[in-house]
């Protein structure tokens, strides 16, 4: 299996990086990136990228989802022990 790459955007609001221009004293513009403040979190058993503003909303509405959830590898180990 191949590893799925994660896009650098929030899964809730689709916020991602934007172009910006740095201006020097002589007003020459240099293009740069302004990246969103994205955080990796385990939510509902999957690791996702969320921006901090969406993470704050998720924490307020569903605090049970953000408690330490079981990671997928730990779930597989737990399923094999039950047999």
CATH code: domain of residue 77: 2.30.170
Residue 53 lies in a domain: yes
Task: Evaluate whether residue 61 is within a structural domain.
Answer: yes
Confidence at residue 75, expressed as pLDDT on a 0 to 100 scale: 47
C-beta neighbour count of 78 within 10 angstroms: 10
Range of the domain at 76: 18-82
One pLDDT digit (tens) per residue for the chain, 83 residues: 344 556 789 988 899 999 999 999 999 999 999 999 999 988 777 888 999 998 888 888 776 655 555 455 554 455 555 54
In a domain, 39, yes or no: yes
* Centroid of chain to Cα 2: 20
Tell me if 12 is assigned to some domain.
no
Instruction: Give domain status of residue 10, yes or no.
Output: no
pTM of the model: 0.58
**What is the total count of domains within the chain?**
1
Domain contains 6 = no
Number of H helices, E strands in the chain: 3, 4
11 lies in some domain = no
């Amino acid at each position: 299996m191949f590893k799925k790459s994660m896009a650098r955007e929030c899964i809730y609001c689709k916020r991602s990086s934007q172009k910006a221009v740095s201006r020097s004293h002589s007003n020459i513009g240099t293009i740069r990136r302004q990246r969103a403040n994205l955080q990796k979190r385990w939510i509902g058993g999957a690791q996702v990228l969320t921006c901090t503003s969406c993470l704050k909303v998720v924490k307020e509405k569903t605090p049970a989802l953000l408690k330490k959830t079981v990671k997928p590898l730990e779930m597989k180990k737990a399923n094999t022990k039950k047999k």
